[in-house]
Amino acid sequence: MRSAFVRALTAPVIAVLTMVSLPATSGAATGPPARCEGLAELAIPADALGLPTSGGRVTETKTVPASGTGSGAIGEYCQVDAELFPVDPEAPNIEMRIALPAEWNGKAMMFGGGGYDGAIPSLTDNVPFGDAAEGVPLARGFAVFAGDSGHQLALNDWNYAGAFAMNDEALRNFAADALKKTRDAAMFLIAERYGTQPRRSYFAGASSGGREALAVAQRWPRDFDGVISAAPAWNAAALDLWFGHMTQILQRPGAFPSREKQQLIYDRVMQSCDGDDGVRDGVISDEAGCHFDPRVLRCPGGEDRGPTCLSDPQIKAVRDLSSPVEWGYKLASGERGYPGTPFLSGADLSTPGLGIGSRLPAHPLDLNPAASGRTRPLCDYPEWPRYNGHGDPDRAENFTCVRS
């Protein structure tokens, strides 16, 4: 059967894939499988992992019965939850999960995360652009695993999604280290369960997971036989600057619209523009032709009078969020600005991870490096840290904040 996996055993760079077909299920392991319950409370030794940790342990095991029919059928599997302990006691644990099928095909699949990670991806999903008719990896007998990249994020707490990066070990884990640690722990658990290592291992992810696929291929090319890297979130400097610009807009006094007001804006935009293509189907096909004026939602006197109207600061905020911005300097990519987010032409302000969240952005960070012995510089948006050319590059005081 054809396979669109990009081999990454020796290549430092891989292609982004748009269509995949997993190898056929065959060749189950011959070792006698251990009972699922026998993995409970199992210690994961630090020397089983290729990067420094304080080891780990299994926190929960359970047998999940077979479910579904046809191409959606998934056989019985053992679900194992585990945590890996950091070296720095102030850093969060890495939370991970692995699904070990009763009928194993001798192969393993690691899933990447998304956004700022912080949650374990579903192990019963398919690979990016995978053919649903062929079944998801777990249904086809793959041992499937994933982790949260070394921090935990509530789905309704996106405004604070990057707070973990204040800890150096947590930041390194998110950058890539947690991928190696999670993979090595999974190999340990697979060997405990089946008595042997997988004969083939793969990695699949999109967006941040696509970035992670590139990271494992480049840093640990012998850990996986192939990776799927779809829509990798790579070279996103302009987007990160836009996030800073959004934060400044939303921190203006009275500017942040509540969830109810966010829904009000979205509903009225859809009411205004959805039918422009001749059919009302909940999709604005001509986004560029939608020019909704939020002033039609203005509260009397421009003051905030509840969820059924917008104050003047909120009108200005949603306009600014929907407008392009110029940085005043050129990034290395050649970009000089960002086109804005189309909240006035169909984008939903409440979309998790892509909207504006449910509460004001976090309080401004203390930019004084001496305040916490910080090892990385923090610059007030839209400035960037530039190394002074001398001194320890792991000390914030050896950097200067600049605009270009």
Count of alpha carbons within 13 angstroms of residue 355, beta-carbon side: 24
Neighbours of 382 (CB within 10 A): 16
- Does 371 or 57 have the greater pLDDT score? 57
97: left (phi over 0), alpha (psi -120 to 50) or beta: beta
Given a contact cutoff of 8 angstroms between Cβ atoms, the answer to whether 202 and 110 are in contact is: yes
* Model pTM above 0.85: no
Average pLDDT over residues 29-57: 87
Tokens of 62: 């359970």
Please enumerate in sequence order all residues whose Cβ is within 8 A of that of 301, keeping only pairs 6 or more positions apart, or say none: none
Radius of gyration of the chain (CA): 24
The CA-atom distances, in angstroms, between 308 and each of 142, 259, 298, 348 are 51, 11, 9, 17
pLDDT at 115: 86
Span of 2-16, 21-35, 142-156, 239-253 with lowest mean pLDDT = 2-16
For residue 44, give both structure tokens.
């994961």
> Residue 247's pLDDT band (boundaries 50, 70, 90)?
confident
Q: Which residue has the tokens 């059928």?
A: 73
pLDDT of residue 8: 31
Rounded distance between C-alpha atoms, residue 59 and residue 160, angstroms? 27
Spatial distance between the Cα atoms of 76 and 376, rounded to a whole number of angstroms: 47
Q: Is the confidence at residue 243, as pLDDT, over 60?
A: yes
Helix axes 237-250, 312-321, angle to 10 degrees: 180
Are the C-beta atoms of 397 and 391 separated by less than 8 Å? Answer: yes
Q: Is the pLDDT of residue 392 over 70?
A: yes
Q: 77-84 and 56-64: which strand pairing? A: antiparallel
Peptide bond into 382 cis (omega under 30): yes
pLDDT value at position 360? 77
- What length does the chain have? 404
Higher pLDDT, 386 or 75: 75
Tokens linked to 353 = 């991870």
